[in-house]
Structure 1
Amino acid sequence: MTFTTRSVPWDKASHSRELLLAREWLVTNGLGGFASGTISGAITRRYHGLLIAALPAPHGRMVMWSHVSEFLRFADDDVVSLGAEERAGGQLNLGAADYLHEFRLENGLPVWTYHVRDLVLEKRVLMLHLQNTVHVIYRILEGVKRPRLELRPAFFFRHYESPVNEGLPAPYRLSAIEDRYEISAPDSGLPPLRIKLANDRAQFTVLPQIIHQVVYRIEQSRGYAYEGNLWSPGFFYVDMQERNMAAIIGSTEEWGIINVLVPDAAVAAEEERRAKMLDDALPEARRGFPAELVFAGDQFIITPAGRAEEAARAHAAGDEVRRFRWRDSHSLPVALWKRDIFCAPSLITFAMDSSQTCFRMEKRKGFIIPPMQLFGFFTR
């Protein structure tokens, strides 16, 4: 069920292509991990990627999967690129701009619709709640002539705050068991990135490639290191003639966990979770813009993956229940962290007085909480 939709229609004739590089999306997993990027698919910030995993200390948030190049092959000499990347020397490939019809947030989750000739293709990015697992799902909605879908994932393992030219360089180790593949960095202590294409007719071609001098333009504008390399082990491909759906899955979880939910079941589970979230909200916050704020607030609520000692203290004190106390239940404050955008709400309490002029944050049980800045109220 769709509760909220925020659409960004795209018309290449009247819109600047810079719009696709400037607008960004974010999906989180409730652990402190996330996926983020631009509408175009290009990575412009150091923390952009399809899987920034929240790993236990000492690793923290790690960029485990940076990018995927997407192609529709109608014939040997007829290939359409849906992705985007920027390379040194002014090389900017925005293939998505020629075929993108619409980008929208559906119940807070990103959805792209592409029109390629008579083909209508939909793409979704979904993170499983409380897992370091991401599904990138492709579905053909219309079209007679079906192409072969080709996907080339690219990686550069590093901490999400590290400069884009610092990390664990290639070569990585590629392991394969049937339709399951693992990318690992020997002697790093990191779990492998486990990756597969969820389609029984999918195949993988080993064709290693270093993608040189990828430009992160936001880092460049801020005066930071802005060129880095990515490494790709090869590409997945699947003939879409007999299948309407394919999904590429990346995760740092064990295979037994990854295989529990196929893509359709993962989508259904997340829709059910979000529906329950709105059921717990005030009736006025279950549709439209207030519902968008509920989904946005959920992005900031986490169970930290690497803070076992803090979690143990909180659980022992019966402090695991997360709550927001509004003394005036018809007012909804919206807040923004100045520093770390993720927090552990089980350790804090928010309160607002009935005059709607005072908003404070209480520090609880000795934990240090980053300062908060209020930037708006929405009242009924």
Structure 2
Amino acid sequence: MESLDRREWLLTNGLGSFACGTLCDARTRTYHGWLIAALNPPSERTLLLSHVEATLEIGVKSWELGTNFWSGGKVAPSGYRLLRSFTIDPIPTWVWSEENWQLTRQIVMPNGYPKEGEELLPNQFEQRTWIEYVYQGKETAILRLKPLIADRNFHHQQTAIPELKFSQKVSENSVFFQAISQGWQGTPWQLTWSKGNYQTSGYWYWNYYYPEEKLRGLGDREDLWNPGELTVILQPGDRLTLEAKLGWTEEMRRWGDGEMGRDLDLETPPIPLPPHPPTSLTPPIPLPPHPPTSSSQSPIPNQLLRAADQFIVYRHSISGPTVIAGYPWFNDWGRDTLIALPGLALTTGRFEIAKGLLETFGSYCKYGLIPNTFPDQGNEPFYNSIDASLWWIETLGLYLEATEDWDFLVTQYLVFRQIYKAFSAGTLFNIHIDATDGLLTWDAPNVAITWMDAVIGGKPITPRCGKPVEINALWYSALCWATKWAEKLATNPSANVEKLCTQRDRYFQQAEQVKKSLQKYWNPHQQYFYDTITPDDKLDAKIRPNAVLALSLYHCGFPPEQARQVLQIARDKLLTPYGLRSLAPDDPDYIGSYTGDSIHRDSAYHQGTVWSWLIGCFINAWQRFYDTESLPFDWQPMLEHFQNQACLGSVSEIFDGDPPHTPQGAFAQAWSVAEILRYFAKHK
């Protein structure tokens, strides 16, 4: 099992839907599948088409091309033995071959992001996956394809039960599916083909095994339904195209209830299948649109642009853009979106997306807080972050610097004032300004509202109540932005100049007070910043990357001599080729491996695990305070990871703190890609 290439590939469609799997073509996660559709974009993600098992026949010989893990660790069939090559660029392409034949498969998920001004219902979005096979050989071949299907939440596994059946209706070149169970009707979708003969059957394949879920201490078994088989006669050079598409055709909608086709009886599943590999073909299917290319001709920025594009999706509940925090399991989060936005949208010149996101987040401001999760329609957002509001201000400032869109400032300044007034008067989680030093503080039991937010059994793993260093660095930067904005707005002929000048002076005075109070964080014994000042004024001296984050913001309130000492300590104790450790290795609470069940993993999440997005903070701070383009680390390991490890063409969320820093967590993370893109867009 270890010899199989379990690196991963990812396709997305701009709606939250995705397809992903492994290079060896075996499913190792609950989240692997060829059509995982966001029924209410980007939410309600549902696995419909897991994969298609392929068998090639020439004369009396046959080759099973699939690869599956089964309970007990068995691999069958072993099609990976015939797999000769895999390429990710421009689209995932596999080639299986023997001496006298070759079969190529390509998979594409077309972009379904709606056109500007287009208003659609959830069932009207284009959600589909294309699969194409190309046969090369000396003789006529028969390709037999068995779709394996489901209808379940993408976090869960499907289990065969007598009540669960899949209704299907076959027409000339398509079959329509819908799961049915005790009055519940599942998601309607269709599978079409360009040629071939489809015969219904209906078998459960029991106990697919997902080794990655086993490693995470989660459910690792799944049952999938095979509704039938498509048989295709192929001449050398022939192509076969399949399309898995959400929804019904008009013909299907006209059918009355009970005319969906027959519910197939459950039967004993056939014996699991066994081996096969690729050709370099010009993709026969149009590619989804990509973001604008940079002026650089280097392939790295262009590949990063493509990776960045996978995270920008449409949210139906707000009729606008949002950012998926990471694949395969995260949704869109406020903090992650705002941190990622400069790299994903400002660096790439996608200013309208940046503006739309800032405007949308601002419209949901409540209690002075920006939500950390967007709501689905009819639901309330979660206001459980102290820093999302501060990141909104910081990112708005970066947007205005890049665009000089001062008309946008006029409306968004009102949102800033909501935040400012709420923080001044006090808001949820006892967030307020300490009148004695001007610093922002909070105090609430059993919650974690900074980015270090792991909680086990109602107890935060990294309790940071009080005055975290990066929160007050953000607060200082926010006051500096506000000083500039009030002055800028005062130049408007219709402005209330006296009021704005008064506000400007107050912001400036507060910023100066906060700058002076930031010296409370200086620890002369360690030559580093304290991480947090607790509500009872105790000083947390743990060496964490939040000190570096505090030095990386647009406005920095720390003196250069302190900053350089902090960066040297961070370089020596936190810096790895893949980002910064969340805790220094010499700390007694350090955990160097992010493994095991959810409790063990959550315990390590911010206690030593490397976070790749923090590499951007380190670069910004290092180049600011050392006034140099050179960096104290080698980019090559990260670029090797991006191109050839974990999920090809993306960057993992986290890595083990201990060498060799194995990639962990979500295999494609928005802010990780965004921060690396920010650097390479400037320097390549």
Structure 2-normalised TM-score?
0.42
Residue 341 of structure 2 aligns to a residue whose secondary structure is strand
Residue 30 of structure 2 aligns to a residue whose secondary structure is coil
Aligned residue in 2 for 1:182: 176
Aligned residue in 2 for 1:63: 47
Aligned residue in 2 for 1:18: 3
Residue 156 of structure 1 aligns to a residue whose secondary structure is strand
Aligned in 2, Cα 1:243/1:267: closer, same or farther, shift over 3 Å?
closer
How much does 1:171 deviate?
1.9
How much does 1:269 deviate?
3.1
Which structure features the higher share of helix residues? 2
Q: Partner amino acid for 1:197?
A: W
| Match among 141, 145, 156 for residue 147 of structure 1 | 141
How much does 1:255 deviate?
3.6
Aligned in 2, Cα 1:46/1:244: closer, same or farther, shift over 3 Å?
same
Aligned residue in 1 for 2:341: 350
Establish whether residue 281 from structure 1 lines up as the match of residue 293 from structure 2: yes
Residue 213 of structure 2 aligns to a residue whose secondary structure is helix
Residue 350 of structure 1 aligns to a residue whose secondary structure is helix
Partners of 1:343 and 1:126 lie apart in 2 by 27
8 Å contact from structure 2 (residues 176, 188) kept in 1: yes
8 Å contact from structure 2 (residues 334, 371) kept in 1: no
| Match among 124, 127, 130 for residue 132 of structure 1 | 127
How much does 1:17 deviate?
5.9
Aligned residue in 2 for 1:294: 305
Unpaired segments ≥5 residues, structure 1: 1-15, 257-263, 315-319, 324-334
Q: Partner amino acid for 2:74?
A: Q
Partners of 1:168 and 1:336 lie apart in 2 by 37
Partners of 1:268 and 1:344 lie apart in 2 by 35
Unpaired segments ≥5 residues, structure 2: 113-125, 251-280, 348-356, 365-369, 374-387, 389-450, 452-612, 616-675
Equivalent residues in 2 for 1:36-185, closer than 5 Å = 36-56=20-40, 60-75=44-59, 77-93=60-76, 95-107=78-90, 109-130=91-112, 131-140=126-135, 142-165=136-159, 170-185=164-179
Aligned residue in 1 for 2:223: 229
8 Å contact from structure 1 (residues 217, 226) kept in 2: yes
Aligned residue in 2 for 1:368: 371
Aligned residue in 2 for 1:13: none
User: After the TM superposition, which parts of structure 1 deviate over 6 Å for at least 4 consecutive aligned residues?
Assistant: 166-169
Note the alpha carbon deviations across 1:50-90, whole angstroms, 9 max, x for none. 10001028971000111211110113x41101111111233
Q: Which moved more, 1:164-173 or 1:46-55?
A: 164-173
How much does 1:146 deviate?
3.1
How much does 1:91 deviate?
2.1
Aligned in 2, Cα 1:168/1:365: closer, same or farther, shift over 3 Å?
farther
8 Å contact from structure 1 (residues 300, 341) kept in 2: no
Aligned in 2, Cα 1:92/1:242: closer, same or farther, shift over 3 Å?
closer
Which structure features the higher share of strand residues? 1
Indicate the percent of aligned positions where both proteins have the same amino acid: 22
Give the count of matched residue pairs.
Answer: 317
8 Å contact from structure 1 (residues 133, 251) kept in 2: yes
How much does 1:188 deviate?
3.4
Q: Partner amino acid for 2:199?
A: T
Aligned in 2, Cα 1:337/1:209: closer, same or farther, shift over 3 Å?
closer
Aligned in 2, Cα 1:123/1:53: closer, same or farther, shift over 3 Å?
same
RMSD in angstroms over aligned alpha carbons? Answer: 3.5
Note the alpha carbon deviations across 1:265-295, whole angstroms, 9 max, x for none. x955326x34xx3xx22221x5512111111
How much does 1:97 deviate?
2.1
How much does 1:102 deviate?
1.0
Note the alpha carbon deviations across 1:87-129, whole angstroms, 9 max, x for none. 123321253322111111122x211122222222211000121
Residue 36 of structure 2 aligns to a residue whose secondary structure is strand
8 Å contact from structure 2 (residues 178, 185) kept in 1: no
Partners of 2:334 and 2:230 lie apart in 1 by 38
How much does 1:145 deviate?
1.8
How much does 1:342 deviate?
5.0
Aligned in 2, Cα 1:70/1:17: closer, same or farther, shift over 3 Å?
farther
Note the alpha carbon deviations across 1:201-260, whole angstroms, 9 max, x for none. x0012221110111111111111111121111111010002761002211113447xxxx
8 Å contact from structure 2 (residues 160, 224) kept in 1: no
Partners of 1:103 and 1:242 lie apart in 2 by 21
Residue 46 of structure 2 aligns to a residue whose secondary structure is strand
Residue 157 of structure 1 aligns to a residue whose secondary structure is strand
Q: Partner amino acid for 1:132?
A: Q
Q: Partner amino acid for 1:48?
A: H
